[in-house]
Amino acid sequence: MAKPRVAFFEFSDCEGCQLCALDLTPEQLLDLVSVVDIVEFREAMTEKAGALDDHGDGTDSIDVAFIEGSINRESDVARLKRIRERASIVVALGACAHIGGINALKNFQSEEEYRKAAYPTDPYKYESTTAKAIGEFIKVDAVIPGCPIDTGEFLHVVKDLLVGHKPQVPDYPVCVECKLKENGCVYEKGMHCLGPVTRAGCGARCPSNGGYCYGCRGLISKPNIASQQDIMQKYNLNEDEMLSKFKMFLQRSKEVFPDDK
Ligand code: SF4
Ligand code: SF4
Ligand code: SF4
């Protein structure tokens, strides 16, 4: 029986999530390539199977497309749709693809401002639009959240897909994992944390290591934003400071920024 054909694609991002997908032990890597046929993966291999289109992507059908990065150009949209047409299953790989990621910080500026910041000598030389998640343009079948993704979670998703299950990611807050680890809450140390509204699955990585959660895995499906704001106010955060916490990763979240373009 032919192995499932798997491909990796990137748009605007740092490619760190693809690196995490590659961060396997030699045994894990051999196991992976024994069960899937990786046909495109620019970060890891130069060969591509079959004919290529103008963008250098393949044209043959694929079973699973892992797509990393946010959409920042009109031409990205056409390319993204071509990938969707080729793929039976599309997985958003990491926060940039899943929720627009850190790229979407530019959306808080005017087009002129972000163009001048990125290309000061010739601001209109390149295409550049507001940053958006891939799910704003195409159907996404599964997500692997996080900035960056967790390699173990990537492997779980691959295993689920291979046995025909829809991959599930936790839909409860980071606070649950944080409490299970018996961490003291960072609010008591004067920090402000988005753990109460952010999707778990990282093992409360940041609060467990001296930091706070800044929402990189996106919101849970029913976040209580008002309650999160109450907590922040209780700990003396003013409105602007509160918004700045939400801005880093949640710009595309209508629950937080309902009026956004
Ligand atoms: S989610 Fe983070 S690590 Fe992954 S590609 Fe985007 S910026 Fe890089
Ligand atoms: S540190 Fe953050 S994640 Fe942990 S319990 Fe407090 S608010 Fe929740
Ligand atoms: S604690 Fe929050 S910011 Fe840190 S990895 Fe987990 S979801 Fe991302």
pLDDT per residue over 79-117, tens digit each? 999 999 999 999 999 999 999 999 999 999 999 999 999
pLDDT tens profile 194-245 = 999 999 999 999 999 999 999 999 999 999 999 988 888 888 887 788 788 8
Mutation test residue for ligand 3: of 153, 213, 245, the one with most atoms within 8 Å of CB: 213
Ligand 3 atom 8: the closest Cα is on which residue? 216
pLDDT at 34 over 90: yes
With a pLDDT cut of 70, the percent of the chain lying above it is 98
Determine if ligand 3 sits within 6 Å of the CB of residue 216. yes
Residue 238 has what DSSP assignment? -
Task: Give the whole-number percent of the chain exceeding pLDDT 90.
Answer: 77
Place of tokens 């800044």: 214
Mean pLDDT of 173-178: 98
Residue 57 banded pLDDT, cuts 50, 70, 90: confident
pTM: 0.94
Residue-wise pLDDT tens digits, 107-143: 999 999 999 999 999 999 999 999 999 999 999 999 9
pLDDT over threshold 80, residue 47: no
Q: What is the pLDDT of residue 261?
A: 62
Rounded Cα gap, residues 152 and 147, in angstroms: 14
Residue nearest to atom 1 of ligand 2 (CA): 185
Q: Is the CB of 193 under 6 A from ligand 2?
A: yes
Nearest ligand to the CA atom of 66: 1
| CB of 174 shorter than 6 A to ligand 2 | yes
Fold of 5-162: Rossmann fold (3.40.50)
- Ligand 2 centroid to Cα of residue 241, in Å, is 18
Any residues with CB less than 8 A from the CB of 100 and at least 6 apart, and which?
Answer: 70, 107, 131, 132, 133, 251, 252
Query: How far is CA 143 from each of CA 25, 79, 218, 237, rounded to the nearest angstrom?
Result: 23, 19, 11, 32
Q: What is the pLDDT of residues 238-252, one digit of tens each?
A: 778 878 889 999 999
202 lines ligand 2 (CB under 6 A): no
Q: Which tokens sit at 179? A: 């409490």
Q: State whether the beta carbon of 83 lies less than 6 angstroms from ligand 2.
A: no
Which of the ligands is closest to the CA of residue 219? Answer: 3
The CB of 208 under 6 Å from ligand 2? The reply is no
Domain-wise residue ranges, the chain: 5-162, 174-250
pLDDT at 232: 85
> Which residue, by CA, sits nearest to atom 8 of ligand 2?
175
For residue 49, the model assigns a pLDDT of 67
- CA 144–ligand 2 middle distance (angstroms): 22
The partner residues of 6 in beta bridges, in order of sequence, read 38, 64
Q: Kindly tell me if the per-residue pLDDT of 177 is higher than 90.
A: yes
Query: What's the mean per-residue pLDDT of the chain?
Result: 93
